[in-house]
Amino acid sequence: MMEFVNSIMPFFIILLMAGVGLSVSFQQLGQSLGKWKIMLATVFSMQVILPLICIGLASMLTLQPDIAVGFVLLASCPGGLFSNYLVLLARADTALSISLTVFITLIYAITAPLWAGAALHLFMPEGTAIRGYDPWSVLISLVGFVLVPTGVGVALKTKRPILADRIGAVIRNPAAIGLLLMYFLILYDLRDTLIIGAKAAIIPVFLFNLFGAALGAGISVFLGWKSQQGIPVIVEHVVRQEGTGIFIASALIGSVAMTYPMLLNSLTGMIIGLSLAVFFRRKARLSAKKSIIDPRNRND
């Protein structure tokens, strides 16, 4: 079963990454760079600070080696397309959310092999029977499965926006459904050990979401961003695109156990992200009502 999943999953990852790229043009990305503090802080937080925090947590919790490595792989995953939808639902800055997803996805192709190698070195005992990990093969795979389709999607959105919108509408849902099907196939294949794996991963996944949301909110407050800009940052920290991390763990490293944190977070991240979106949407609606009743309450 896992051989079939590992062989077909790259196809859905390519479609999904192309769908991410088809959401934004180079001009829109350039405009987002005008908010460089937000972009830089979020990228640094998600691709450097949070993985380091997770490495520290994995060491403190003395997690079993495979779970610890999967925990770090989860921390380095980019935000998913679902995060963009949740930001739209929350009535926040959707363009910023899409730009963050694209930028972090592009950078992830470079950082993921580094974090995977570091986690394996730190947590896996010497001589462990793990398929030969080659960071260059991971880099090449991610460039082909992540960087190239995302870049092609952005280029098409720039040159042919109408065509890009049509293609994006066609491929995003099948790609998401395809990856969801892969998740269920993996869960079915792991059904005998799933409960044990979930118990081992539940604490680190809970802490990951707690620290991720707190880190996003803390950065937003510290830099004094408006809620419209802070909400995408918080949601991006919680809702991740775990498919690439699962592919790295199962196909490129050769450990199915490493997928447990990412499989568990696929569900918990969506639940937490949806709860945040509903909360912020309700807050925005109440604020709008107050503004109508008393114009002095408007946030200009």
Q: How far apart are CA 261 and CA 264, in angstroms?
A: 5
Q: What is the pLDDT of residue 300?
A: 47
Q: Is the predicted pLDDT of residue 297 greater than 60, yes or no? A: no
Please say whether the beta carbons of 47 and 111 come within 8 A.
yes
Q: What is the pLDDT of residue 185?
A: 87
Q: Is the predicted pLDDT of residue 195 greater than 80, yes or no? A: yes
Q: What is the pLDDT of residue 102?
A: 85
Which sequence spans correspond to the domains of the chain? 2-125+132-297
Q: What is the pLDDT of residue 4?
A: 82
CA torsion 248-249-251-256 (nearest 10°) is -160
Average pLDDT over residues 223-239: 83
Average pLDDT over residues 32-51: 88
More confidently predicted of 218 and 30:
218
Average pLDDT, the chain: 85
Average pLDDT over residues 171-182: 83
Per residue in 239-290, pLDDT tens?
Answer: 898 888 998 888 888 888 899 999 999 888 888 888 888 888 888 777 777 7
**292 confidence band (pLDDT: 50, 70, 90):** low
More confidently predicted of 18 and 285:
18
Average pLDDT over residues 143-150: 87
Q: What is the pLDDT of residue 105?
A: 87
| Assigned fold of 2-125+132-297 | Na+/H+ antiporter like fold (1.20.1530)
Please say whether the beta carbons of 264 and 107 come within 8 A.
no
Per residue in 47-101, pLDDT tens?
Answer: 999 999 999 999 999 899 999 999 999 999 988 777 877 887 787 887 788 888 8
Q: What is the pLDDT of residue 20?
A: 81
Per residue in 158-168, pLDDT tens?
Answer: 999 999 999 98
**294 confidence band (pLDDT: 50, 70, 90):** low
CA torsion 181-212-282-80 (nearest 10°) is -30
Count of beta carbons in the 10 Å neighbourhood of residue 50: 21
